[in-house]
Amino acid sequence: MTTISNTLFEDITIGDSREFSKTLSAEDVKLFAKTSGDLNPLHLDSDYARTTDFGECIGHGMWSGALISAAIAMTLPGPGSVYRSQSLKFNKPVKIGDTLTVTLTVSDKRDRVKLVTLDCVVNNQHGDKVAQGVAEVIAPSQKIDNLAIKPVDLAETR
Protein backbone atom coordinates (compact mmCIF):
# COMPACT_ATOMS: atom_id res chain seq x y z
CA MET A 1 0.00 0.00 0.00
CA THR A 2 1.62 3.29 -1.05
CA THR A 3 -1.50 5.45 -0.99
CA ILE A 4 -4.54 5.60 1.27
CA SER A 5 -8.05 6.95 0.62
CA ASN A 6 -11.02 7.62 2.86
CA THR A 7 -14.77 7.06 2.83
CA LEU A 8 -17.17 9.92 3.64
CA PHE A 9 -19.99 9.47 6.14
CA GLU A 10 -22.66 9.38 3.43
CA ASP A 11 -20.81 6.65 1.55
CA ILE A 12 -20.51 4.34 4.57
CA THR A 13 -23.14 1.59 4.92
CA ILE A 14 -23.86 -0.52 7.97
CA GLY A 15 -22.18 -3.86 7.35
CA ASP A 16 -19.22 -2.39 5.44
CA SER A 17 -16.05 -4.23 6.43
CA ARG A 18 -12.27 -3.95 6.00
CA GLU A 19 -9.29 -6.04 7.06
CA PHE A 20 -5.81 -4.91 8.10
CA SER A 21 -2.99 -7.34 8.92
CA LYS A 22 0.46 -7.09 10.48
CA THR A 23 3.00 -9.58 11.76
CA LEU A 24 4.52 -8.76 15.16
CA SER A 25 8.32 -8.71 14.83
CA ALA A 26 10.82 -8.54 17.69
CA GLU A 27 11.62 -5.03 16.44
CA ASP A 28 7.93 -4.03 16.67
CA VAL A 29 7.95 -5.05 20.34
CA LYS A 30 11.04 -2.92 21.00
CA LEU A 31 9.49 0.06 19.19
CA PHE A 32 6.29 -0.26 21.20
CA ALA A 33 8.31 -0.50 24.42
CA LYS A 34 10.29 2.63 23.60
CA THR A 35 7.37 4.75 22.40
CA SER A 36 5.07 3.75 25.30
CA GLY A 37 7.68 3.51 28.06
CA ASP A 38 6.50 -0.02 28.98
CA LEU A 39 9.89 -1.64 29.59
CA ASN A 40 8.56 -4.74 31.37
CA PRO A 41 11.19 -7.41 30.59
CA LEU A 42 8.37 -9.89 29.86
CA HIS A 43 8.33 -8.26 26.42
CA LEU A 44 12.05 -7.64 25.94
CA ASP A 45 14.20 -10.18 27.79
CA SER A 46 13.79 -13.80 26.73
CA ASP A 47 15.79 -15.11 29.71
CA TYR A 48 13.36 -13.37 32.07
CA ALA A 49 10.27 -14.29 30.01
CA ARG A 50 11.27 -17.96 30.26
CA THR A 51 10.81 -17.77 34.06
CA THR A 52 7.19 -16.53 33.70
CA ASP A 53 3.96 -18.42 32.99
CA PHE A 54 4.23 -17.34 29.34
CA GLY A 55 7.59 -19.11 28.85
CA GLU A 56 8.67 -16.69 26.10
CA CYS A 57 8.55 -12.97 25.24
CA ILE A 58 5.06 -11.80 24.32
CA GLY A 59 3.85 -8.58 22.74
CA HIS A 60 2.34 -5.72 24.70
CA GLY A 61 -1.43 -6.18 25.03
CA MET A 62 -2.08 -2.67 23.78
CA TRP A 63 -0.25 -3.44 20.54
CA SER A 64 -3.56 -4.99 19.41
CA GLY A 65 -5.20 -1.65 20.20
CA ALA A 66 -2.54 0.13 18.16
CA LEU A 67 -3.30 -2.21 15.26
CA ILE A 68 -7.04 -1.44 15.46
CA SER A 69 -6.27 2.28 15.43
CA ALA A 70 -4.06 1.76 12.37
CA ALA A 71 -6.82 -0.18 10.61
CA ILE A 72 -9.23 2.73 11.16
CA ALA A 73 -6.74 5.37 9.98
CA MET A 74 -5.54 3.40 6.98
CA THR A 75 -8.73 1.70 5.72
CA LEU A 76 -12.16 2.63 7.14
CA PRO A 77 -13.12 5.43 7.35
CA GLY A 78 -9.42 6.22 6.60
CA PRO A 79 -7.50 9.51 6.77
CA GLY A 80 -9.44 12.48 8.12
CA SER A 81 -11.35 10.34 10.64
CA VAL A 82 -11.52 11.66 14.21
CA TYR A 83 -11.13 8.89 16.77
CA ARG A 84 -13.63 9.39 19.62
CA SER A 85 -13.55 6.20 21.66
CA GLN A 86 -12.40 2.62 21.76
CA SER A 87 -13.25 -0.32 23.99
CA LEU A 88 -10.93 -3.31 24.13
CA LYS A 89 -11.00 -6.79 25.62
CA PHE A 90 -7.75 -8.73 25.63
CA ASN A 91 -8.38 -12.46 25.27
CA LYS A 92 -5.07 -14.14 24.46
CA PRO A 93 -1.35 -13.32 24.43
CA VAL A 94 0.29 -12.36 21.13
CA LYS A 95 3.65 -13.97 20.41
CA ILE A 96 6.50 -12.63 18.29
CA GLY A 97 5.91 -13.88 14.75
CA ASP A 98 2.12 -13.96 15.11
CA THR A 99 0.19 -12.35 12.26
CA LEU A 100 -2.83 -10.44 13.48
CA THR A 101 -5.75 -9.47 11.28
CA VAL A 102 -8.07 -6.67 12.39
CA THR A 103 -11.57 -6.90 10.94
CA LEU A 104 -13.59 -3.69 11.16
CA THR A 105 -17.34 -3.86 10.53
CA VAL A 106 -19.68 -0.86 10.59
CA SER A 107 -22.46 -1.57 13.11
CA ASP A 108 -24.10 1.86 13.46
CA LYS A 109 -24.21 5.40 12.00
CA ARG A 110 -25.48 8.54 13.72
CA ASP A 111 -26.29 11.23 11.16
CA ARG A 112 -26.37 14.27 13.43
CA VAL A 113 -22.76 13.95 14.52
CA LYS A 114 -21.49 11.89 11.56
CA LEU A 115 -20.41 9.24 14.05
CA VAL A 116 -19.70 5.72 12.83
CA THR A 117 -19.54 2.72 15.18
CA LEU A 118 -17.19 -0.10 14.21
CA ASP A 119 -17.02 -3.60 15.64
CA CYS A 120 -13.34 -4.52 15.87
CA VAL A 121 -12.12 -8.12 16.00
CA VAL A 122 -8.45 -9.11 16.10
CA ASN A 123 -7.61 -12.69 15.13
CA ASN A 124 -4.24 -14.40 14.96
CA GLN A 125 -3.06 -16.71 12.16
CA HIS A 126 -4.68 -19.69 13.93
CA GLY A 127 -8.10 -18.01 13.92
CA ASP A 128 -7.98 -17.33 17.68
CA LYS A 129 -9.62 -14.08 18.72
CA VAL A 130 -6.84 -12.30 20.63
CA ALA A 131 -8.73 -9.01 21.18
CA GLN A 132 -12.02 -7.34 20.34
CA GLY A 133 -13.79 -4.07 20.93
CA VAL A 134 -15.93 -1.25 19.60
CA ALA A 135 -14.67 2.02 18.09
CA GLU A 136 -16.51 5.30 17.60
CA VAL A 137 -15.16 7.56 14.86
CA ILE A 138 -16.34 10.80 13.31
CA ALA A 139 -16.21 10.10 9.60
CA PRO A 140 -14.15 12.40 7.35
CA SER A 141 -15.84 15.54 6.06
CA GLN A 142 -13.55 15.93 3.03
CA LYS A 143 -12.74 13.29 0.45
CA ILE A 144 -9.09 12.21 0.36
CA ASP A 145 -8.02 10.03 -2.55
CA ASN A 146 -4.67 8.37 -3.06
CA LEU A 147 -2.84 10.20 -0.28
CA ALA A 148 0.81 9.14 -0.57
CA ILE A 149 2.29 7.32 2.40
CA LYS A 150 5.86 6.20 2.87
CA PRO A 151 7.56 3.72 5.17
CA VAL A 152 9.11 5.06 8.37
CA ASP A 153 12.90 5.43 8.17
CA LEU A 154 14.14 5.08 11.73
CA ALA A 155 17.70 5.92 10.67
CA GLU A 156 16.50 9.51 10.22
CA THR A 157 15.63 9.72 13.91
CA ARG A 158 19.18 9.26 15.12
Q: Which residues bind its own copies (CB under 8 A)?
A: 4, 20, 22, 26-42, 44, 48, 52, 60-63, 65-70, 73-74, 79-80, 83-90, 147-152, 154-158
Strands 115-123 and 129-138: antiparallel
Q: Are 124 and 98 in contact (CB under 8 A)?
A: yes
Q: Which residue lies nearer to its own copies by CB, 70 or 113?
A: 70
99: β partners: 23
Q: Which residue lies nearer to its own copies by CB, 13 or 36?
A: 36
| DSSP at 149 | -
Q: Which residue lies nearer to its own copies by CB, 17 or 141?
A: 141
Minimal distance in Å, beta carbon 53 to its own copies? 9
Minimal distance in Å, beta carbon 63 to its own copies? 7
SS3 48: helix
Which of these, 5, 2, 24, 8, lies nearest to 116 by C-alpha position?
Answer: 8
Minimal distance in Å, beta carbon 106 to its own copies? 19
